[in-house]
Amino acid sequence: MRKIPVLPILVSSLFQIFALGVVALFGWTVHQILPAGEYRASAVVIMSVPFLVFAHLTVFRLLVTLFPVWEGQVVPSSQLEFNYNVVTVYALVWIYPLIYSHLVPVPLTPLLYRLLGARLGKNTYTAGAILDAWFVSIGDNCILGLESVIIPHVHQTQTLAHQRIVIGDNVTIGARAMIMAGVQIGDGAIIGMNSVVTQGTIIGPHEVWAGSPARLIKRTQAPAASPATAVSGLDRNSEVTRF
């Protein structure tokens, strides 16, 4: 692992202090608004905790916007490495502990990861962790099992890079499975629990993969389209033809 210089740590720390200052101001404001009583302090704490999470997520998104980390190789001593270090320090202190603590209920995970920059479709939830969320796109009706991990970065000795991970619709990823950088997973695919999908693997639609490293086990048939869906599809095609 590359050593993180002092300057990115200081820059990241300033943003962390700013977030904590905003939370402190919020707590003080709530304390002034609420009537005096033995439960006022408890109410301030209860209200400040979710605001603390929201504040850090918001400041982290601002940090990623100001210090963008883009796809590709991270060259030593480059602007990209500086940006990466600033973002990583903040993530290690606040974002990763939040993700791995499972404090956010599963029904709220789409909101969490969208705030972190991931592209998630409708009815998609995770009981696992998505790292570097802005490099991850997941379609509709997907489920990521307990303690599964999506890892869009490659970090081997002195090699550091980011590769986008794209997951289609109706995909199931089993518990404790790991999806590595550059992986593409087609619609309707299934990844078995405890599987490790290695870097750059391309999984086709309706394929079942399992193992460490993951291998193709079988292919499943796509569900037949309902009459309503078929009619809808014909309508869309006809509209395309007209225009």
Q: Catalytic annotation on 155? A: yes
- Summarised one tens digit per residue, pLDDT across range 99-125 is 998 888 999 999 999 999 999 999 999
Q: What distances in angstroms separate CA 119 from CA 132, 182, 199, 236, one per listed residue?
A: 12, 16, 20, 25
Going from the C-alpha of 21 to that of each of 15, 25, 53, 90, 216, the distances in angstroms are 10, 6, 13, 15, 51
Q: What's the rounded mean pLDDT across residues 207-219?
A: 96
Backbone angles phi, psi at 228, to 5 degrees: -65, -40
Query: Which residues is 126 bridged to in the sheet?
Result: 144
The residues, any chain, with a CB within 8 Å of residue 89's CB and separated by 6 or more, are 4, 8, 9, 12, 13
Q: What is the percent of the chain with per-residue pLDDT over 90, rounded to a whole number?
A: 79
Among residues 31, 155, 162, 206, which one is catalytic?
Answer: 155
The rounded distance, in Å, linking the Cα atoms of 158 and 64 is: 23
- Candidates 209, 199, 200, 195; CA nearest to 145 is 195
Asked if pLDDT for residue 43 goes beyond 50, the answer is yes
150-175: pLDDT as tens digits? 999 998 877 899 999 999 999 999 99
CB atoms within 10 A of CB 138: 26
Token pair 């408890």 is found at: 42
Q: Is 70 exceeded by the pLDDT of residue 234?
A: no
Q: Which tokens is 34 given? A: 């609420």
Give the start-to-end residue ranges of the domains of the chain. Answer: 1-101, 111-222
The model carries a pTM of 0.85
Strands 72-73 and 129-130: unpaired
**Token pair belonging to 44:** 């301030």
Asked if residue 203 lies in contact with residue 187, where contact means CB atoms within 8 angstroms, the answer is no
Instruction: Decide: residue 166, CB within 10 A, 0-12 exposed, 13-18 middle, 19+ buried.
Output: middle
Phi-psi region of 86 (alpha: psi -120 to 50; beta: other; left: phi over 0): alpha
pLDDT band per the 50, 70, 90 thresholds, residue 220? confident
Our CA angle for 201, 189, 222, nearest 5°, is: 135
Please identify, in words, the CATH class of the domain defined by 111-222: mainly beta
